[in-house]
Chains A and B, each alone.
Chain A
């Protein structure tokens, strides 16, 4: 069965001024859509034609991996946001973040720093392992932690297309604003 572009549960301009409508139109309407289309093309007649996205991320190589992971990554990214988001994590995630990073502010600082210093295109991740321990990772290009058996909790897209129309070379400003649209209820549930 072919993969589909998932719906957003907010309007394309709902994340303004952090993420502007035009960036959303291209990021969701073009980049994300094209990853879906290319993946569907590439899996035709391949061993992955009936695979789940997770299976593709764990086992595929080359174009199938790249497009499959990018479909998953963008879905996960867009589902981490809500208009007028922000604030802090809740429940268990909040206490594990405090235990691991000393405080939410320290975590925020470390995650932001990982996002700012990732060289080239990629994703910054907060992941948990089997024992529930948290870790911040930098992954290049389509890199997805599921491939290494880790469970993603939060991600920030630092491909230039994620912020260039609004922030140009000022990636740190994008990363700083990113915290204002996070939907911590959804993110906390992932833990």
Chain B
């Protein structure tokens, strides 16, 4: 079965003023849609046809570069839309809060480590909060790679991610990536992140 571009759970304008409607619309209908259709082209008729995206990504070292780039792009954006919400922001609660405190000392330490990872990723890529076998970690990956991939430096299950390709912020923030990263904290859907943490 072919992969489908997921619908957003909110309007394109719902994350304003942090992320503008035009950016959201182009990001979803053009960038994410292109990754989705190119992924379908790349797996059609191959041994990967019918496999789940998670299965494909965890064995990405044996797949083609087209599957790596577009499979990553499909998965990463699907996660990105989910971990944001118009009612987002604030801080996590419960088990996730405990796990963050345990791994980073405090929420503020985590916030600065994650923000730095996002700001310092040179070129296009993503910063992540990841469940690893040694607890929660922050990492970043180039282009459309992610921590599910068996080629990733830090491997695990991503539960929060920020897109730092320039297309994610350029219409509103231009060269000011740090301003976009600061704004992102206002739209993080911690309920969704906690759900993914629980597994």
- Chain A interfacial positions (CB closer than 8 Å to B): 26, 30-31, 34, 66, 119-122, 140-142, 159-161, 164-165, 168-169
Contacts and interface: CB of A to CB of B under 8 A. Distances in A.
A160 B123 contact: no
Contacts of A160: 124, 165-167, 170
A15 B91 CA distance: 47
B116 to A, nearest CB: 14
A169 B27 CA distance: 8
A169 B26 contact: yes
22 contacts: A30-B174, A66-B122, A119-B144, A120-B123, A120-B124, A120-B125, A120-B143, A121-B124, A140-B142, A141-B122, A141-B123, A159-B123, A159-B166, A164-B166, A164-B167, A164-B171, A165-B171, A165-B174, A168-B30, A168-B171, A169-B26, A169-B30
Contacts of A30: 174-175
Nearest to A31: B175
A161 B144 CA distance: 18
B166 A119 contact: no
B141 to A, nearest CB: 11
B82 interface: no
Nearest to B27: A169
B170 to A, nearest CB: 4
Interface residues of B, number: 20
A172 B125 CA distance: 21
Contact of A142 (B26, B34, B122, B171): B122
A135 to B, nearest CB: 21
B69 interface: yes
Nearest to A122: B123
B31 interface: yes
Interface in B119-178: 122-125, 142-144, 165-167, 170-171, 174-175
Contacts, number: 55
Contacts of B69: 119
A116 B124 CA distance: 16
A164 B175 contact: no
Given A30-B174, A160-B124, A165-B170, A119 B30 contact: no
B30 A26 contact: no
Contacts of B34: 169
Contacts of B31: 169
B114 to A, nearest CB: 20
Which of B26, B123, B171 is packed against the most chain A CB atoms within 10 Å? B123
Top 8 nearest A-B pairs by Cβ distance?
A160-B166, A141-B123, A121-B123, A120-B143, A120-B124, A169-B30, A164-B170, A30-B175
Contacts of A34: 175
A26 B174 CA distance: 7
A161 B123 CA distance: 10
Given A30-B174, A140-B123, A169-B31, 12 more contacts: A30-B175, A120-B123, A120-B124, A120-B125, A121-B123, A121-B166, A122-B123, A142-B122, A165-B171, A168-B30, A168-B167, A169-B167
Nearest to A63: B122
A187 B92 CA distance: 56
Nearest to A119: B69
Interface string B19-43: 0000000100011001000000000
Contacts of A140: 123, 142
